[in-house]
Amino acid sequence: MFITKKHLQRRTFLRSAFATLSLPLLDAMIPASTALAQTAAVSAPRMGFFYFPHGAVMNNWTPEQAGSDFALKSILAPLEKYKSHLTIVSNLENKRAAGPVHAITPGTWLTGAAPRISHEPYGGITIDQLAAQKIGQDTPLPSIEVATETSGAAGACDRAFGCSYSGTISFRTPSTPLPMENNPRKLFQTMFGVGDNAAERERLGKQSASILDLMLAEASDLSKKLGASDRVVLNDYLETVREVERRIEKNASHDLSHMTLPDAPAGIPGSFDEHMKLQFDLILLAYQGNITKIANMMMAAEVSNQTYNHVGVSDAFHPLSHHQNDPNKIGRLLKIQEYHSTVFAGFIDKLAQLPDGDNGSMLDNSIMLYGSNMSNSNAHDHYPLPSAIVGKAGGAIKGNQHIVAPERTPVSNLMLTILDRIGVQPEDGLGDSTGVITEV
């Protein structure tokens, strides 16, 4: 741990021989007589890109009214509490996703670039990675990629394009797709650096009840040097880390990988709900501990056969998305889409409750994109796309708006706008973008 006589460095860590724990922003990290707004700690917003597959029932997504006087439809209703932070943009299209629908849909959401026909992936750099080049270099991890499933069923791959574009929403380079981590234990170990390699992390994970136990003395020593308010922040953070760790250990205790089992349905009642919420909480920890400022998440796999028994839907997700305009199937599909929004809103609620220095909450200083690269799942179309931003990026985004863009506006215009709000202007634009959406 590195401490100066004046203040703690922003990148102060608790360390043991095998683990490193980043810390949240503390008052002690701000030099005396320095306004928080002038420090690097708040120079960049936290960013999140949350993708759900199989589109949305657009009549239950798109508000009837434009401007600030709009009422939320059922899919976005869970975000009603944060309407002042919400920006919905309608009439967006992604022509780059046209083709073998599921096989290229996720990987073309954040690029604005057409994928090359080849089993070796080649498309465009996604905006999360363009952002990481600017704001992700001062954190232990430039970005994290999170999922709930490893892959979807048949149809997620294509003879011409392979499987690379369906399994991720993030490309570090045009030819480097980033894998999405669906294992909470591995994600936790990646975030907190337990061990030097995968084998060592696995060994240490079995030996240690908690990474916090490895650094208990150092945490106690640091706490003595902090003021009362900082001690509260530090203790709350450490307790959150321990609680998430406890949930991961509890899940691991039910591991049946050592047994030979018959094939089972993809959806197990109750477990998928906990899995998704745990992944969201790990993202929250990554923000809180300044482990990363950028997170990507696929809430379900493309061509997912997950079932949602915990909300009363026993149908597999992807087959149900081919609803053939059957009102009963659409009703069940809506339950899944409303559930996704409810879990996302729970994450937003926690983000709103976390202070971010003197500049409001973490939500105030965030940009969270929530949406899909498909519209009507029955038609497999890419217009109009469900797209919403939650957060104000420290005042760079207005919020409380339903913006009705001109018909068939490239969705890459929204992506370009998000980059613009953090001060990134790609020299050649972004894919097929035609300009920023100034109303945002």
| Among the listed residues 212, 216, 222, 208, the one whose alpha carbon sits nearest the alpha carbon of residue 252 | 208
For residue 61, the one-letter residue type is W
pLDDT-derived band of residue 249, with 50, 70 and 90 as boundaries? Answer: low
Total-model pTM: 0.80
pLDDT band at 207, cuts 50/70/90?
Answer: low
**How much is the pLDDT for 159?**
80
Minimal CA–CA distance to 340: which of 82, 73, 62, 52?
52
The structure tokens 């030996």 sit at 207
- Greater confidence (151 vs 384) lies with 384
Segments making up each domain of the chain, as ranges: 20-25+41-206+268-421
Instruction: List pLDDT tens digits, range 356-371.
Output: 877 789 999 999 999 9
pLDDT class of 228 with cuts at 50, 70, 90? confident
Query: What are the tens digits of pLDDT across the range 373-385?
Result: 999 999 999 999 9
Is a pLDDT exceeding 50 seen at residue 257? no
- The pLDDT > 70 percentage for the chain reads 77
- Per-residue pLDDT of 333-343, as tens digits, reads 999 999 999 99
Task: Check residue 243 and give its pLDDT.
Answer: 65
pLDDT over 90 for what percent of the chain?
56
Phi and psi, residue 180, nearest 5°: -95, 130
Distance CA 224, CA 391 (A): 35
399 within 8 A of 85, measured Cβ to Cβ: yes
Whether residue 86 has pLDDT greater than 50: yes
CATH 3.40.720 fits 20-25+41-206+268-421, yes or no: yes
Sorting pLDDT into bands at 50, 70 and 90, what band is 123?
A: confident
pLDDT of residue 268: 30
**pLDDT tens-digit map of 321-334:** 999 999 999 999 99
pLDDT on residue 264: 30
CB 160 within 8 A of CB 100: yes
